[in-house]
Amino acid sequence: MLLRSLEMQGFKSFPDKTELNFGKGITAVVGPNGSGKSNISDAVRWVLGETSTKSLRGSKMEDVIFGGTSKRKALGFAQVMLTLDNSDGTLKDHDEIVTVTRRYYRSGESEYKIDGESVRRKDIHELFMDTGLGSDGYSMVGQGKIDSIISAKNEDRRELFEEAAGISRFRHKRKDAERRLDQAQENLVRLLDILGELE
């Protein structure tokens, strides 16, 4: 799976709609300090569902929205759309071209889309699970990431290997099933209490 293009609008230092196309081979982004190079990788992580404001180098989610300059007013929302080349079929049951979109308003409202259809953040998370590309995947190697992997606890490092082996989807499903089972047990206890009162 390859990145085809990234479209940002109102995201950090990109107030206008800005599209970057990634060709075959290696793409290098060069520019002076503070010109927005890291904001591009932030945009990729953000559209993939990143929720940690710290790893997006901000203090609150609103910080991803263009905050204005002396010449330009702040904007009301940020949007990023990532287009992926899925011709190798990494994303099963999806077309050769897959787009994911995330929009965030100052009001705190979020919107996510896969191929133009509104979805939940959970769906984006599940789409990229086991591909290594998700917001917690290993495809994005930021500053300090290698150090954090080396010094991580064994269980945390294991999650990385599980993602690479393509089995983190099952761990996630098991956790989800366990949570729903616990909920059902609680409902059952409550129901038995009510039945006991009625008898």
Name the one range near ligand ATP by CB under 6 A: 65-73, 108-116, 174-182, 187-195: 65-73
Which residue lies nearer to ligand ATP by CB, 5 or 53?
53
Among candidates 179, 151, 149, 177, which has minimal Cα distance to 163?
149
Q: Which two structure tokens, joined as six digits, stand for 148?
A: 């954090």
- Asked whether the beta carbons of 62 and 47 are under 8 A apart, the reply is no
- 67 marked among binding-site residues: no
The CA-atom distances, in angstroms, between 104 and each of 3, 11, 49, 133, 139 are: 22, 9, 11, 21, 24
Binding ligand ATP by CB under 6 A: which of 3, 5, 13, 94? Answer: 13
User: Which residue's CB is nearer to ligand ATP, number 12 or number 91?
Assistant: 12
In the block, residue with structure tokens 């490092």: 157
| Site membership for ligand ATP, residue 35 (CB under 6 A) | yes
DSSP annotation string for 91-131: STTS-SEEEEEEEEETTS-EEEEETTEEE-HHHHHHHHTTT
CB of 164 to ligand ATP, least distance (A): 28
35 among annotated binding-site residues: yes
Q: Considering beta carbons, is residue 66 or 77 the nearer one to ligand ATP?
A: 66
Enumerate binding residues for ligand ATP (CB under 6 A): 12-13, 31, 33-39, 63, 65-67
Binding positions for ATP:
32-39
